[in-house]
Amino acid sequence: MARKVVDEPGEDLVASAKQERAERRGPVARIALFIRQVVNELKKVVTPTRRELFSYTGVVLAFVIVMMALVYGLDFGFSALVAWVFGNGTS
């Protein structure tokens, strides 16, 4: 049974890349091509709805709070361990 590789680039993509490479564009043309490609990629972006935006924001804030608590706990624990091992600094 033959297996199709999904990550192979399409023939039209390869052909256009070869054609562009053969043309050896100048610096202004390369910048214009880059801007056109950026605009084409930005057209593919889907803006989230208001509900999705609030949901994503809540998830990010919850994750940040959990990570802050984890780092605080580790910092507190390690500082207590260091104080116990080396003393609290008073003679």
For residue 4, is it within any domain?
Answer: no
Token code pair at residue 1: 């049974």
For 50-65, the DSSP string reads HHHHHHHHHHHHHHHH
The model's pTM = 0.52
d(C-alpha 37, C-alpha 5), whole Å = 26
Q: What is the pLDDT along the chain (91 residues), one digit of tens a residue?
A: 455 555 666 677 777 777 767 666 788 888 988 999 999 999 999 999 999 999 999 999 999 999 999 999 999 999 999 999 998 766 5
Type of residue found at 57: T
Residue 63 lies in a domain: yes
How many domains, in total, are found in the chain?
2
Structural domain span for residue 85:
49-91
**CA atoms in the 13 A half-sphere facing the CB of 1:** 1
Q: Residues 31, 19: one domain?
A: yes
pLDDT at 28: 87
